[in-house]
Amino acid sequence: MKSAWEMRKALKDLFNAQHLGVLATQGGGQPYSSLVAFAATDDLKYLVFATTRATRKYANLSSESRVAMLIDNRTNQDSDFHNAMAVTAMGTAEEVKDSEKDQLVKRYLAKHPYLEGFVTAPTCALLKVRVDKYYLVSRFQNVMELHLKP
Amino acid sequence: MKSIVYLHEIADEDRERVGGKSLALAAMARDRMNVPDAACITAEVYTDYVTTTGLSERILLELGRKDFEEMRWEEMWDASLRIRNMFLNTPIPIRLSAILRDAIEGRFKGKAVVIRSSAPGEDSARASFAGLHESYVNVTGTDSIMEHIRLVWASLWSDAALLYRQELGLNFEKSTMAVLVQEMVVGGESGVAFGQNPNDESQAVIEAVYGLNQGLVDGTVEPDRWILDRKTGEIISHSPAHREKAILPTPEGVRPEPLTSTEVDTPPLDGKRIQKVFDLALGAERLFGAPQDVEWTFSRDLLYVLQSRPITTRRTGEPTDNRAWYLSLRRSFQNLKTLRRRIEKELIPAMVEEAQSLSRQDAAKLPDMELAAEIARRSQIHERWVKIYWSDFIPFAHGARLFGQVYNDTVRPTDPYEFIDLLGSTNMASLERNRMLEEMAGMIRENPRFAESLRNQKKDFDPGFTKVLGEFMERFGDLFQGLAQSTKQREAICRLLLEMASRAPTDEGRRSKDVEALKNNFLSHFEGEQKGEAAELLDLGRASYRLRDDDNIYLGRIERQMLAAIDEGRRRIENRDALDAKHISTKELVKTLEDPSYVPKRYHTAKRATSDDELKARQLVGQPAGPGIAKGKARVILDPSDLFDFKSKEILVCDAVEPQMTFVVPLSAGIVERRGGMLIHGAIIAREYGLPCVTGVPNATSLIHTGDEVTVDGYLGIVVVG
């Protein structure tokens, strides 16, 4: 990985190929992780996911908006050790405002059409994570960081 | 799963299971050609072994440390060495080994065999892996046969095979290996036959030696060569060899023996036998439908075919590959001994002499025209030595590798680089230089007055110190590259000495006892005549290891003389024409000096692509080249002048540790290098000083910045930044 451009490309390819990521939140100092269906914006600044408002992660996010998210392409085989790539995104989550909701829902459903009923339900919230940094782990132990321009 | 198939059972559809070599022998046996009895251990057994033991993923992890395309040959060798050691230290699971042992005992009990690689899918008209994988001749006993099967498997990952795959862009993720266990035929005369001369389609070529084929195949025995007319079979020419020795079987393995006087005077084949071999090659060609490269042997009057493969053909205009050079990196003990004599007795003294004679000519005193000629002359001289460096010095590096392989095979250490400790602690030129520096630093440490005087740039404050410094300046006075004046050199050296004196002295000779123990342990594995040979091999390995350091120093001296002339030329143009001569090539420089009206072309330096985002390295993977862990501030060397500011306990980060840089090594806490390998300069010096070292880190000097906090993990080959 020689340039920011190269890393961006690797991130985009990974995000396009993967449907699920692991979201880490915390409540009262206790970390909590959950699997979420995500979509990334083209500029990689935001990762979008949906959750109903009654969930533990939603409660956690209400008191602590700082999150991490793990997205990887492991296949649960030996070859993962040399082939798999894992990305950790660090950022802050917030609920999507009405003004941008249509556009982000469209984006989200383009990737997850089967979630239409879920996303449009009145109890469901669409959230976006504003990403500050990406950590990309490849070749087992190679770690590169991409710090996004604020 | 079919574990073992015998020659008569192999059918065409077994190709992927048995590999091309076994398939060809089976076809020839069916055709009633004279083929030694053989059994094939299928590729499925290999796959079973590497999967159940986890070796498969370990190999891919090893090769996945960096982009395969970016690996240098020395890194390939290291990867290959580590992989080979993995095979040596990973027994075949009992279930599998029981099946193999039963079959081998049933078929080959009490018989000597040859164990050959037969890798499926790799020999084709485009690629030929001939010689890149291992074969073992004259192996007896089930234990030994089992052992050698593993070694043949390991050779799927030999450095030569890896380099070849890299060059041809072949994917190795699914590579497998079948092994042929073939009854040994002790031939009196052996050789190869090319049904078609690769250089002339109307001809065939036959090569023959006395004894076994191995000497011919690995180049230790020169063969007699006959060129035949393909149509008529008539002999067109015979090139007799300088016949000296033959490779003959011993109770275990083979060895070169001198020929009898009759053999020395008689070609190994007469006309009748040449015809027989030619007919054999044509018979194989008829069978396979394409000209063949056939290995054969005569045992008494019977002609056996040992293997046959298609001749690799390349359309004209297609670039030829470097397989021959890769193979030249693997040399026999005999060959290396000859090379050593040439290097030590001829090349090194000539190189030293060359540098001295160049230094006697002061470029600064020459008028422009003569300076132009001198620059051209020195460039040519340098180029010539660089060629010799590649053709002789680099292949000689195999002496250390050969020793390493023998050491690992006999001692079976868990650390595949243990042998390097045994090779080190020899008198390297750069260590001598550093010892002198350390001595002066010691004097300053003991006399605080000296430090004070040096800081105030006083001279001759102590006759003893002045004498040592004078001697040092005499021998190594060109320490800092880019400082032409000796007063500036002296200042820079004094600054370095003050920095060295500010930290504790380095602990020398700390490993000498361990080295003695390692040596004794190694030699205890041999008896009688073999012990002497092992000691000789160690000596050769040491010479080879030392040379990997020294050749750089000597070549560096010649390079410096060339650069001194070039710098002088650049300086003059800058003064005369008031232009920045930094980016003018040597050729252009010569032209401009010769003709004041000429306007030189400049080359452009590449601009870095910019982006708003910031890319940072957090953890970089290279190769573990010196065990230990170190933390410190990085000092990135982008230009020789960066060395002036080197502080004690910093981490040296560079593209490659050049010989002229090694004087800062004792000051540093650890080394990170872009160039990869265990037998490269940086790794050698790091090991000598017991410093943690990671080599082969891609883009090290652009991803790490001077002042970054860096952790060098020399055990795992990882560099953590920040």
Q: Distance of alpha carbon A25 from its chain centroid, rounded?
A: 12
Task: Considering only residues B132 and B385, tell me which one the structure prediction assigns the higher pLDDT.
Answer: B385
* Closest chain B residue to A147, measured at CA: B614
User: Lowest-confidence range among A42-51, B123-132, B271-280?
Assistant: B123-132
* Closest chain A residue to B616, measured at CA: A145
Split at pLDDT 50, 70, 90, the class of B490 is confident
Domain B189-312 in the same topology as domain B4-183: no
CA–CA gap between residue B345 and residue B348 (Å, rounded): 7
- Tell me whether A2 touches chain B (CB under 8 Å): yes
Percent above pLDDT 70 for chain B: 92
The arrangement of secondary structure in B4-183, i.e. its CATH architecture, is 2-Layer Sandwich (3.30)
pLDDT, position B127: 59
B583, two tokens = 């980016």
Task: Decide if pLDDT at B319 tops 70.
Answer: no
- Tens digits of residue pLDDT in B396-409: 888 888 898 889 88
User: Lowest-confidence range among B62-66, B346-350, B582-586?
Assistant: B582-586
Partners of B704 on chain A (C-beta within 8 Å) are none
Task: Decide if pLDDT at B330 tops 70.
Answer: no
Among candidates A139, A142, A146 on the partner chain, residue whose Cβ is nearest the Cβ of B613: A146
Task: Decide if pLDDT at B277 tops 70.
Answer: yes
Count helices and strands in chain A by DSSP H and E runs = 5, 7
Q: pLDDT of chain A along its 150 residues, tens only? A: 778 889 999 999 999 999 999 999 999 999 999 999 999 999 999 999 999 999 999 999 999 999 999 999 999 999 999 999 999 999 999 999 999 999 999 999 999 999 999 999 999 999 999 999 999 999 999 999 999 988
Distance from CA of B323 to the nearest CA of A (A): 28
CA–CA gap between residue B139 and residue B407 (Å, rounded): 20
DSSP H or E segment with residue B681? helix B681-688
Task: Decide if pLDDT at B315 tops 50.
Answer: no
pLDDT, position B316: 41
CB contact under 8 A, A149 and B612: yes
CA–CA gap between residue A106 and residue A112 (Å, rounded): 10
Fold classification of B619-721 (topology level)? Glucose Oxidase; domain 1 (3.50.30)
Do the beta carbons of residue B224 and residue B268 sit within 8 Å?
yes
Residue to substitute from A87, A142, A145, interface B, most B β-carbons within 10 A: A142
Partners of A136 on chain B (C-beta within 8 Å) are none
CATH no. for residue A45?
2.30.110.10
What is the residue range of A45's domain? 4-147
Map out the domains of chain B as residue ranges: 4-183, 189-312, 333-425+511-594, 429-501, 619-721
Indicate the CATH number of B189-312 among 3.30.470.20, 3.30.70.100, 3.40.50.2000, 3.20.20.210: 3.30.470.20
- Tell me whether A81 touches chain B (CB under 8 Å): yes
- Tell me whether A24 touches chain B (CB under 8 Å): no
pLDDT, position B263: 94
* Closest chain A residue to B699, measured at CA: A2
Best CA proximity match to B716, nearest among B65, B74, B84, B68: B65
CB contact under 8 A, A144 and B716: no
- Tell me whether A147 touches chain B (CB under 8 Å): yes
pLDDT, position B559: 87
CB contact under 8 A, A2 and B619: no
Task: Decide if pLDDT at B384 tops 90.
Answer: yes
pLDDT, position B605: 52
Partners of B54 on chain A (C-beta within 8 Å) are 78
Phi, psi of B217 (to 5 degrees): -65, -40
pLDDT, position B475: 80
Q: Look at the block and give the residue holding tokens 């060899």.
A: B241
What Cα–Cα distance (Å) separates residue B595 from each residue in B582, B599, B601, B700? 19, 9, 14, 42
CA–CA gap between residue B251 and residue B93 (Å, rounded): 29
List all residues 6 or more positions away from B64 whose beta carbon is below 8 Å from its beta carbon: A82, A83, A139, A140
Among candidates B66, B611, B618 on the partner chain, residue whose Cβ is nearest the Cβ of A4: B611
For range B258-273, the mean pLDDT:
95
For range B688-703, the mean pLDDT:
92
Q: How many domains does chain A have?
A: 1
Task: Decide if pLDDT at B126 tops 70.
Answer: no
Among candidates B51, B611, B718 on the partner chain, residue whose Cβ is nearest the Cβ of A3: B611
CB contact under 8 A, A139 and B56: no
pLDDT, position B317: 40
Q: Is the ipTM of this complex over 0.95?
A: no
- Tell me whether A35 touches chain B (CB under 8 Å): no
